[in-house]
C-alpha cells in the first residue's frame, strides 16, 4: 500500500501561520475567536492588536470580539478594557501623525478608498466649529473615528488635547462595556446589540448639552 502519511510542518512555521490565521479569523468569526482568546495566554496582547487595527482601518466594531472575551474572562474584565483603550490611543496617535505629515499622499487616498468623503467633509465643518467637543463626540458617534484622527492632524490640533478627548470618548465606550458585563453578565452582548445606537445618541445629546451651556 502507498504511504499516505504526511510529515508535520516545522513548529516555527506552524506557530507563525496559526497566529496569522487567528487574526484573520477574528474579523470573519469574531465570537468564535473571542472564545479562543479566553483560552489563550496571549489574549490580552491579541485584543490589543485587534483594537489597534479596528482604530486604524478595520471597519468592524471591536465590541463584537471584546464583549464575548470579557464574558469568557471576567477575572480580566477591567484589564481588557484598559488594554483595548491603550491600543486604541496608540492607533489614534498614529492616525493623527498620518493626517499631520502624510495627508496629501496617504490620508486622502485612505478616505477615497474607504468612501469617507461625505463623512470627512461633515466632520471637518463640525471640528472647525467645536474642536475638542467634536473629537469627543465622534468617539461615541457612528462615524469612523479615523476621520477625527486625520482632521485633527491636518489642522495641527494640539496633540495632548486630541489624546485627552480620545481617552475620554474611548474610555467611556470600553469601560462602559466592562461595567455592562460586570452588571448584567451573559445578557451584556444582547443589551449592547439592541441599545448601542440609542446609547450613542444619548451620549451625543449629553455632549451637545454641555456645549450649549458652555460647560
Span 180-197, mean pLDDT? 76
Above 70 in pLDDT, residue 202?
Answer: no
What is the C-alpha to C-alpha distance for residues 167 and 165, in angstroms, rounded to an integer? Answer: 5
What is the C-alpha to C-alpha distance for residues 137 and 11, in angstroms, rounded to an integer? Answer: 47
55-103 pLDDT per residue, tens: 888 667 788 888 888 888 888 889 999 999 999 999 999 999 998 898 8
24-56 pLDDT per residue, tens: 554 455 566 666 666 677 788 889 998 998 888
Contact yes or no for 6/12 (Cβ under 8 A)? no
pLDDT at 119: 78
Q: Cell 491636518 belongs to which residue? A: 154
Q: What is the grid cell recorded at 42? A: 496571549
> Does residue 131 sit in helix, strand or coil?
coil
- Higher confidence at residue 196 or residue 101? 101
Percent of the chain with pLDDT over 70: 69
pLDDT at 183: 85
Contact yes or no for 154/162 (Cβ under 8 A)? no
114-123 pLDDT per residue, tens: 777 887 888 8
pLDDT at 85: 94
At 210, is the pLDDT very low, low, confident or very high (cuts 50, 70, 90)? low
**What is the number of other CB atoms lying within 10 angstroms of the CB of residue 125?**
12
Helices 11-28 & 30-39 angle (0-180, nearest 10): 130
What is the C-alpha to C-alpha distance for residues 215 and 207, in angstroms, rounded to an integer? Answer: 10
The average confidence (pLDDT) of the chain is: 77
Amino acid at each position: 500500500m502507498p504511504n499516505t502519511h504526511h510529515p508535520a510542518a516545522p513548529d516555527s512555521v506552524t506557530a507563525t501561520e496559526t497566529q496569522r490565521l487567528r487574526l484573520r479569523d477574528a474579523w470573519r468569526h469574531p465570537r468564535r475567536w473571542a472564545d479562543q482568546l479566553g483560552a489563550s495566554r496571549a489574549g490580552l496582547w491579541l485584543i490589543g492588536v485587534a483594537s489597534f487595527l479596528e482604530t486604524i482601518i478595520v471597519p468592524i466594531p471591536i465590541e463584537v470580539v471584546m464583549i464575548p472575551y470579557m464574558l469568557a474572562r471576567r477575572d480580566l474584565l477591567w484589564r481588557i478594557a484598559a488594554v483595548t483603550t491603550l491600543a486604541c490611543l496608540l492607533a489614534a496617535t498614529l492616525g493623527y501623525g498620518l493626517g499631520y505629515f502624510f495627508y496629501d499622499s496617504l490620508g486622502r487616498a485612505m478616505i477615497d478608498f474607504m468612501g469617507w468623503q461625505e463623512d470627512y467633509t461633515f466632520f471637518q465643518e463640525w471640528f472647525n466649529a467645536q474642536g475638542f467637543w467634536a473629537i469627543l463626540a465622534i468617539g461615541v458617534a457612528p462615524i469612523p473615528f479615523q476621520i477625527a484622527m486625520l482632521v485633527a492632524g491636518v489642522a495641527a490640533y494640539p496633540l495632548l488635547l486630541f489624546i485627552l478627548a480620545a481617552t475620554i470618548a474611548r474610555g467611556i465606550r470600553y469601560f462602559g462595556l466592562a461595567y455592562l458585563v460586570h452588571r448584567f453578565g451573559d445578557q451584556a452582548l444582547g443589551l449592547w446589540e439592541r441599545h448601542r445606537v440609542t446609547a450613542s445618541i444619548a451620549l451625543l445629546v449629553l455632549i451637545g448639552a454641555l456645549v450649549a451651556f458652555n460647560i
